Every structure is written in C-alpha cells, then in structure tokens.
C-alpha cells in the first residue's frame, strides 16, 4: 500500500514538473510572438538602419543622439542598464566606440547577441588608419556600397536571432537596398556639376575618406581621423597653406565636432591674405535631430552633398 502511495506521489510530482516545463516553454514562445525584439544600438546611423530593417517587430534604443561624438562617448549607468536588458546589441566596431570597449567585453560574458556592423566588410574595402587599434578608418557608413553590405548583414543577423520574423527583415532590407541604390544615383547626379579640381573637401576631422574614395574627392581633415586629439598651431598653419595653394573656396564644420578649430583655420587663412568661407555644417559622426530630413541616413547624405556642392561651385 505504501509502495502504491509512493508511486502515486512520484507520478504526480513528475506530472507537475512536466507541466511546469511546458508552461515555461509556452510562455517563452508567447514572448517571441507578442513582444518586440529589444535592440540597443550605438550611433545614430546604425539606429536608423535597424529601424528600417526591423520595422514593427523591433524596439530600437540608440545610446547616442544627434550631435554626439562616438569617439569620445562614455556609457552612463542608464546605458549599461539598457545594454543588459537588450536581446541584441549592434555597434559599429573598428574602435569607433573606443570608450565602450570594456562595456561590450562585459556584455559578451552575458551571452548576448552582439553584432559589429563592420564584420560585414572584407578588409580589402577598408581604408587603413594608424590612428585606430583596428588599423582601419571606422567611418564606413560614408561608402554607400559598404552600407549596402551592412544592410544585408544586419538583416541576416536579426533573422538568426528572431527566425519567426526572418522574412520580414529580409523584405525590409530589400526595400532599403533599393533606396540606397537610388541614393547613389542621386548623389552622382548632384556631384556631376563639380569638376575634379574643385573636389577638395576640408573638414574638422577625416570622417569623409570613404566618401572621397567613392566620389573622387581629395578629403583633408584638420584633426585627422579621430576627434580625441585636437589640432595644433602647426596643423592649422599647414592646412592654411594648403587651402591657399589649391584655391579652396570653402571649408566645413561638423555637427559633432566643436567649430572653433575650423574658425581658427579660417582666421589663419585670412591672415595670409586669402579669403575662405565656411561652407556650412556637415553631418559626420552623427545624424541630425530625430524627425528632420537630416535625421535619417538617406536625408543626411543628400543634405551633406547639397551643402558641399553649393559651397564649392
């Protein structure tokens, strides 16, 4: 009799454990079905990209807003909380977000899905740089061809994490790739009015080398590739002589970099008897404010090119 009671208890206990497992499993599936994938991104360009690919099935939180310099960005306590609660973390890589490296290293120990968009690119398409630990220029978004590869890569990675909506991510990426193709055609048409000898782009720092490579511009940055170091007096003097020698009409400030160095450059050029105007503000390491045309990658690129052409013509 005791054996029968013991057997009955064991059966009931086993059944309870089985039901608990099933219920937990169902609960997990319900989360996938009814809740959005929680994605945290670093730069505004990546935030915009993931929103286009993820659509209604992804909740994207960007750590950096308009005008934020990723080279100098440090994570706040709120940022760390967002990262820990995320299903997926997507960042640029190539040491663009150098001060977040330790945070990302901690995240890998949490077994999170961490995606570096630069992993989409073969090293052969990257521009070398001695200023970064990766030995590559991290401003990869200014090559539309790079951004196309990154679009496909991010969509495939999201599809792996959330296979239920894989087809949605692929379809959204296809639509965005069409828009990127149209962007390239628009840029080529806009730039056609500028002859080669006028395609000299002088900015606060060398964020536009990929743009220059794609569209035949001589790009010269006052602060080099990183904003972590400031331009010295000799840098300003050397650049002033370059501007005079090449009869550059305009120089440009950047939305994420203080304009004082470019203003100092303009003053130095003037002291040497030559006038160069500040042609406007370009968006380099960050997009414009949310809700504006410049707040999207496509709008930012068109705005930059329009500003460059109008100033250098």
Give the chain's radius of gyration (CA, Å).
Answer: 25
DSSP 194-214: S-GGG-EEEESSS--HHHHHH
* 128 CA to centre of own chain: 18
Per-residue pLDDT tens listing for the chain (313 residues): 444 444 443 333 333 332 233 333 333 333 445 589 999 999 999 999 999 999 999 999 999 999 999 989 999 999 999 999 999 999 999 999 989 988 888 887 887 899 999 999 999 999 998 777 789 999 999 999 999 999 999 999 999 999 999 999 999 999 999 999 999 999 999 999 999 999 999 998 889 999 999 999 999 988 754 444 455 688 889 999 999 999 999 999 999 888 988 999 999 999 999 999 999 999 999 999 999 999 999 999 999 999 999 999 9
For residues 60 and 51, the answer to whether their CB atoms sit within 8 Å is yes
Using CA atoms, how far apart are residues 149 and 163, in angstroms rounded to an integer? Answer: 20
- Residue 19 pLDDT: 28
Q: Given the DSSP bridges, would you call strands 88-91 and 37-41 parallel, antiparallel or unpaired?
A: parallel
Q: Indicate whether this model's pTM tops 0.75.
A: yes
- The DSSP letter of residue 74 is -
Q: List domains and CATH numbers for the chain.
A: 35-188 (3.40.50.1980), 194-312 (3.40.50.1980)
- Residue 230 pLDDT: 56
69 C-beta neighbours (distance < 10 Å), count: 19
Counting Cβ atoms within 10 Å, is residue 50 exposed (0-12), middle (13-18) or buried (19+)?
buried
Greatest alpha-carbon pair distance for the chain in Å reads: 109
> What SS3 class is residue 136?
strand
Residue with tokens 């960005």: 73
Cβ-based neighbours of 280, under 8 Å, separated by 6 or more: 250, 252, 253, 307, 310, 311
- Residue 158 pLDDT: 98
97 token code pair:
């977000």
Using CA atoms, how far apart are residues 226 and 90, in angstroms rounded to an integer? Answer: 21
215 token code pair:
């569209």
13 token code pair:
């206990």
> What SS3 class is residue 89?
strand
Using CA atoms, how far apart are residues 195 and 193, in angstroms rounded to an integer? Answer: 6
């Amino acid at each position: 009799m005791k054996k029968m009671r013991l057997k009955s208890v064991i059966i009931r206990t086993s059944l309870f454990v089985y039901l608990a497992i099933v219920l937990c499993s169902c609960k997990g599936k319900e989360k996938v079905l009814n809740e959005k994938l929680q994605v945290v991104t670093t730069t505004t360009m990546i935030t915009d990209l993931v929103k286009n690919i993820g659509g209604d099935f992804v909740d994207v939180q960007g750590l950096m807003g308009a005008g934020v310099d990723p080279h100098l960005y440090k994570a706040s306590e709120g940022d760390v909380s967002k990262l820990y609660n995320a299903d997926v973390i997507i960042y640029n890589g190539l040491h663009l977000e150098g001060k977040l490296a330790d945070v990302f290293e901690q995240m890998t120990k949490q077994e999170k899905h961490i995606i570096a968009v630069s992993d989409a690119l073969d090293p052969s398409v990257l521009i070398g740089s001695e200023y970064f630990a990766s030995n590559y220029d991290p401003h990869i978004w200014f090559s539309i061809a790079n951004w196309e590869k990154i679009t496909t890569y991010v969509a495939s990675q999201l599809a792996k994490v959330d296979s239920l909506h894989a087809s949605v991510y692929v379809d959204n990426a296809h639509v965005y790739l069409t828009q990127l193709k149209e962007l390239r055609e628009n840029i080529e048409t806009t730039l056609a009015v500028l002859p080669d000898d006028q395609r000299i782009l002088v900015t606060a720092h060398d964020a536009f080398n990929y743009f220059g490579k794609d569209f035949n511009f001589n790009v010269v940055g006052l602060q080099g590739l990183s904003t972590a170091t400031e331009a010295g007096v000799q840098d300003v003097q050397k650049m002033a002589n370059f501007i005079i020698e090449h009869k550059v009409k305009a120089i440009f400030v950047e939305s994420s970099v203080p304009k004082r160095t470019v203003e100092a450059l303009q003053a130095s050029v003037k002291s040497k008897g030559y006038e160069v105007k500040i042609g406007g503000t370009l968006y380099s390491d960050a997009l414009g404010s949310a809700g504006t045309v410049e707040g999207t990658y496509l709008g930012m690129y068109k705005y930059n090119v329009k500003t460059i052409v109008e100033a250098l013509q």
